[in-house]
Structure 1
């Protein structure tokens, strides 16, 4: 059986000096270790536990190009910002394929000591931060992490020093644009020291939609004692875009981590969230919203591990799938021995709006304590026919009634977003998505950036 890793291992072995020359510091220091982990490894396929509906092996099998020479690929950034959604006031950074592109005046608008920029540059100017956290939170022993570590040459570093509280949200826009099909190995390192606070919006877009794109993304997040990080991710990519994104979060005592993942359009997407609550009174809120149509495939997988007492977590994922779209959700909660007085809740609710749409769900609890409050559940059904009949009897056309019910179904996920102005924007985007009028790459430009 072929191994999709082979082509990437060969690429690295034939070009290791070039790859290193275009990167820096800790990114280069761990490549050989990553290569060693990949020698006898395989990416998961549908025979692997937890990947029954999404083969990572197949996702990475095509012969994508990789821009290891860091050739500048021109991109019309303005084309990603055509919408009638009111702009948020954000601090904006852009990643084109896998290279960070700072916007004008970004650095001058950041508070003293805060870094939001190229990971390569961060390895040069903040080596103590990158050396301590890069490739330390994500487990190198897993093939997808090792592959990304072996080939990532740049990425994004966000560093908020102890006690600093950002007054404006950060905004990161990931843009795929290339004259040929390409794979991007994106890396993000986010470090909030003790007592720091930040909010962030991430938008994923695809230009040049006729080409095929593959995103390998590893995100490492450290949330220090008493720190608070809230983020929202919105994906609007193309039918020819495949994305495998893994987020690893380490939380200390009294920290707060909140993340909302929204998929509006895509080809094949697999998102994974692995969150460790390493200190007492840590709190996690994880929410996801998927609107699938055509032949989209969206797979979300979460693993929240309660490792210390008196922590709280809550998960809510909702899908609406139409046409031949397919979805999957597998979520797990682990309450370790000694993590007494844990509160952990998980809910997955889904609507199939067509007879050909399919949904797979697998909630899991693993508890090694008695003094806990935990629950999980999953439901999959269709739109309420009685409600539709009532709407039609009041003169509302069936198509409009269906849209209204689907919009109402998503409201509590949208309400989990606490970034000023973003909840209204997200509601607007969801309304446009259900009404079939959502344009390409809409709604992302922060003003005054």
Structure 2
């Protein structure tokens, strides 16, 4: 029995327990999702999208799943203490794939801002979920999205009403903890209505040194003239396997920035899809990865321009050491009606050793004739001339290399619009390059 068949058997065997603990909305999407998963099967390298990540291989192994929703005894306030200076956030927690009831500073958020567990909120806000849940995360196109939809039992729901400016960033901390190998399936649904403004920060951490297999799906809806910044930081252990999908739907004159930063990981495969559905929308899609040992980071992006007068900027950077592997597959798709599109895509990578590998595939598909589109990718080593120049100025080779790597990767970090977070990430990037653990110093998280 292959891994796809094992997962289908798992769903069949546990379906009653899964549905018993979930709402009508979540359960209603499962039959079509599992049907799609059965048809598609777990991706292998034969599938063009996953050419550089053998998903089926990484799903192998025995993992427990908490379908019974057994509560965790973890005290999140004792485990996680964010040490970013001057960063004042409203914090919510996910422990494995369950929403934790503690939300800090919820009472001082603007009126109407709603944060809660996905399952509980789907029972309270049927109209919102019927309109938005699963609408852009298409289970027919991707087997991992289909599997997540079939198995998911909880996650986070966030709603920002129209004309609401949320000055305080909303921080979601995803914590993985278990004494045995564990599979978790998490979901985020974010709705930012017209003229709203909000910043999100997602922090991903593992506590225990076991293997975690995580599927995640995030759906972000940005209404007319909404401004959404969505920052995600990954600091998982080297045994973790993370398959994450982020979908963004933008209406007219909206601006959305997604910035995914992998500081430490085992296996990470991140798919980010933007759908520009309203004129004047702007998408800012960024990512960076620092890898060593045998870590693997694959970023797959799609920015779809379907209407005129939209813009998109994309920047991904990698620094790869030892025998680590990086991959980037980026597609800019311009539909026939999307005249006056202005889009640029850039991927730059540095391999620090002869054994490190980087695979880059920038792509354009343009079906309109009045557009400005460009893409490019470079893979190289540290600039020997720059290293020599700094050595002549008294720097050691170690210091010179560190400075060049720091300057290279921080072009992505500098795009962050939350100043305290940006400054803290500069420090974490430097620590990562020095080989130090990059966990928050006020945390027990490993």
RMSD across aligned positions (CA): 1.7
| 2:206 is aligned with 1:206 | yes
Within a 5 Å distance, the mapping from 1:307-322 to structure 2 comes to 307-322=306-321
Shift of residue 112, structure 1, vs aligned partner: 1.9
State how far apart, in whole Å, the 1-side matches of 2:344 and 2:229 are: 19
Aligned to 1:169: 169
SS in 1 for 2:427: helix
State how far apart, in whole Å, the 2-side matches of 1:113 and 1:426 are: 31
State how far apart, in whole Å, the 1-side matches of 2:165 and 2:293 are: 42
| 2:171 is aligned with 1:158 | no
Shift of residue 105, structure 1, vs aligned partner: 4.6
Asked which structure has the greater RCO (Cα within 8 Å, sep 6+), the reply is 1
Residue by residue over 1:142-173, the C-alpha shift from the partner in whole angstroms, topping out at 9 and shown as x without a partner, is 32111111110111101111111111000011
The runs of 5 or more residues in structure 2 that have no matched partner are none
Asked if the contact 2:214–2:242 (Cα under 8 Å) also holds between the matched residues in 1, the reply is: yes
State how far apart, in whole Å, the 2-side matches of 1:22 and 1:333 are: 40
Residue by residue over 1:191-247, the C-alpha shift from the partner in whole angstroms, topping out at 9 and shown as x without a partner, is 1111111100111001111x1101100111111111111011110001100000011
Asked if the contact 1:313–1:345 (Cα under 8 Å) also holds between the matched residues in 2, the reply is: yes
Aligned to 1:219: 218
Within a 5 Å distance, the mapping from 1:10-409 to structure 2 comes to 10-78=9-77, 80-81=79-80, 85-141=84-140, 142-209=142-209, 211-409=210-408
Post-superposition, which runs of at least 4 consecutive aligned residues in structure 1 deviate over 4 A?
441-445
Asked if the contact 2:93–2:103 (Cα under 8 Å) also holds between the matched residues in 1, the reply is: no
State how far apart, in whole Å, the 2-side matches of 1:439 and 1:185 are: 25
Residue by residue over 1:269-319, the C-alpha shift from the partner in whole angstroms, topping out at 9 and shown as x without a partner, is 000011110010000001111111111100001000000000000000000
Shift of residue 175, structure 1, vs aligned partner: 0.7
Shift of residue 61, structure 1, vs aligned partner: 2.1
Asked if the contact 1:227–1:254 (Cα under 8 Å) also holds between the matched residues in 2, the reply is: yes
Shift of residue 3, structure 1, vs aligned partner: 3.5
The runs of 5 or more residues in structure 1 that have no matched partner are none
Shift of residue 106, structure 1, vs aligned partner: 4.3
Asked if the contact 1:80–1:442 (Cα under 8 Å) also holds between the matched residues in 2, the reply is: no
TM-score by length of 1: 0.95
Q: Report which stretch shifted further, 229-238 or 430-439.
A: 430-439
Asked if the contact 1:277–1:307 (Cα under 8 Å) also holds between the matched residues in 2, the reply is: yes
> In the superposition, relative to structure 1, how do residues 444 and 115 fare at CA in structure 2: closer, same or farther (>3 Å)?
farther
State how far apart, in whole Å, the 2-side matches of 1:42 and 1:151 are: 15
> In the superposition, relative to structure 1, how do residues 256 and 439 fare at CA in structure 2: closer, same or farther (>3 Å)?
closer
Shift of residue 80, structure 1, vs aligned partner: 4.9
> In the superposition, relative to structure 1, how do residues 59 and 223 fare at CA in structure 2: closer, same or farther (>3 Å)?
same
Shift of residue 77, structure 1, vs aligned partner: 2.9
State how far apart, in whole Å, the 1-side matches of 2:194 and 2:117 are: 23
Shift of residue 76, structure 1, vs aligned partner: 4.9
